[in-house]
Amino acid sequence: MRLPRKSKKRRAAEAVASYVKFRAIAKAAGTARKGIAGMAAYKAAKRAPAAAKALPVVAGIGAAGAVAARKRRRSEPASA
């Protein structure tokens, strides 16, 4: 049984289609990997003690307070 010959256009189209499929599979695998990592971090944070959960919030508030204090010191006129 003879297979029909494929034209250059058809071979090129099939090559592009297979490339696009492989790229979609690779992206889906990467997204799944990131999702699994995110879920693991979420679960670990859920099991953490209350002090550890509050640490990022406290650190953020402290950093914001430090920035605000620096800005306030700069904006005050120099008293002689």
Which is more confident, 79 or 61? 61
The pTM of this model reads 0.40
Q: Find the radius of gyration of the CA atoms of the chain.
A: 29
pLDDT score of 31: 86
4-39 residue pLDDT tens: 888 999 999 999 999 999 999 999 988 888 888 888
Give pLDDT tens digits for 54-73.
Answer: 667 777 777 887 777 777 77
Which tokens in the block code for residue 36? 């699994």
CB of 72 within 8 A of CB of 64? no
